[in-house]
Amino acid sequence: MKNWLNKSFIFLFASLALMSCEKDEDMVFVSEGTAPALTVSANSVVLEEDNADNNALKLTWTPADFGYQAAVNYVLEMDMKGNNFAAPVTAELGTDTEETFTVAQLNTLVNRLDIKAFNPNEIDMRVRASISPKIESPVSAVKTLTITPYLTEPPYATLYMVGDATDAGWNNGDAIAMLRDPNDLFKFTYTGKLKPGYFKFLGKRGGWAPMFGAGANNTLVFRETEADPDPASIQIQTEGYKTVTVDLRNNTYSITDYDASTKPVYNSIGIIGSFKPDATTDVWSKIVPMNKSSFNPHYWTVEYTFADDVEMKFRIASGWDSNWGAPAGEQEKLFNKAGGDNIIIPAGTYFIVFNDLTANYLFIKKN
């Protein structure tokens, strides 16, 4: 009996030893990983919208090594120089060891950072390698590039004019809204009456920065913060109707005379549409009156809240002889020249501007 037990223990020990050997053969030891080495095709890149589809930058890197064959995923991290990647912008690079960005792709990434458009910016880049959330991801050494990006849309809903040449005077809370060009969102226009005097452009109502003032040869001087120098004012020498145009792509402005002598002057214009102006009035039956400038009788404004998505037009107080809508196929644009179709407006509170001289309108959504 004892001999049988001994044999049983010997057999069990041998089986366990064999199983242990088989497990040792299947074990994989994962190292912390060798970081990829990043190479960039250029140290300085100027991005231009006209070349949006062209290749701008190629990144290549050596494979990360974790001690065994595995699918390694790579991620590009970008941040402003000196931020130490505290809140980096990231882009998934997949499992390959190279990536080429077009001008548009790189510009989109860079614009997610706190950059200055149309100016050189020093930007840090690195590549992170990863095989599992449980294993530390090694990163490449940092490459610093100088990138000059562009904006696809300006940072301002519109620009405002303030100064004693305007109806607002120097009260920045009442600054006169300009209208955006639907075909070029970097162009802003104001067509209306101006007085002899001076004015400047503001990026928002109620503040003295951002601001644009006069430079040499009809160029603009930018004031980013109120701590920056105050730029010179732009002068209007004679009273009359003018068209003022600002081009933020080229940093220029122009002022030309406008003939308003044949334009009708309306007593009242308002908004009308698929919303009730009051509790007792049906839709499409009565306008919500807009406010007319006392100095410029063709410039109308109102702030209004739409509880739901609506369709609307601008119309005189009674009758449909004079009404303004959207161009065909552009009913959902908030910045464009009026035509005939209904304007589609999402629910929200808006500061609304309408110019009956040019049939241009503007909706600025309030926060």
pLDDT (tens, 9 = 90+) of the chain, 367 residues, equals 444 444 444 444 344 444 444 444 444 444 566 899 999 999 999 999 999 999 999 999 999 988 777 789 999 999 999 999 999 999 999 999 999 999 999 999 999 999 988 889 999 999 999 988 878 889 999 999 999 999 888 888 899 999 999 999 999 999 999 998 878 889 999 999 999 999 999 999 999 999 999 999 999 999 999 999 999 999 999 999 999 999 998 899 999 999 999 999 999 999 999 999 998 999 999 999 999 998 999 999 999 999 999 999 999 999 999 999 987 767 666 555 556 789 999 999 999 999 999 998 999 998 6
Q: Per the domain annotation, does 302 fall within a domain?
A: yes
Q: Per the domain annotation, does 319 fall within a domain?
A: yes
Closest CA relative to residue 225, chosen from 206, 207, 250: 207
Residue 175 sits in a domain whose CATH number is 2.60.40.3620
Closest CA relative to residue 190, chosen from 232, 153, 242, 239: 242
- Pick the last residue of a domain from 226, 257, 288: 257
Q: Are 127 and 91 in contact (CB under 8 A)?
A: no
Q: Per the domain annotation, does 193 fall within a domain?
A: yes
Residues 283 and 360 in one domain: yes
pTM attached to this predicted model: 0.72
Q: Which residue has the tokens 């020249």?
A: 337
Residue ranges making up the domain that contains 275? 269-365
Which ranges of 32-140 does DSSP label H, i.e. alpha helix? 103-110
- Pick the last residue of a domain from 257, 278, 307: 257
Amino acid at 318: S
Using CB atoms within 10 Å of the CB of residue 326, give its burial: 0 to 12 exposed, 13 to 18 middle, 19+ buried: buried
Cα 209 to Cα 31: distance, rounded to the nearest angstrom:
54
> What DSSP state is assigned to residue 25?
H
Q: Per the domain annotation, does 143 fall within a domain?
A: yes
Q: How many domains does the chain have?
A: 3
Rounded alpha-carbon distances, angstroms, from residue 77 to 31, 86, 142:
23, 10, 10
Q: Per the domain annotation, does 202 fall within a domain?
A: yes
Q: Per the domain annotation, does 32 fall within a domain?
A: no
- Pick the last residue of a domain from 117, 148, 179: 148
Q: Per the domain annotation, does 215 fall within a domain?
A: yes
Residues 70 and 168 in one domain: no
Residue 61 sits in a domain whose CATH number is 2.60.40.10
Residues 253 and 281 in one domain: no
Q: Are 285 and 271 in contact (CB under 8 A)?
A: no
Q: Per the domain annotation, does 264 fall within a domain?
A: no
**Residue 366's pLDDT is what?**
87
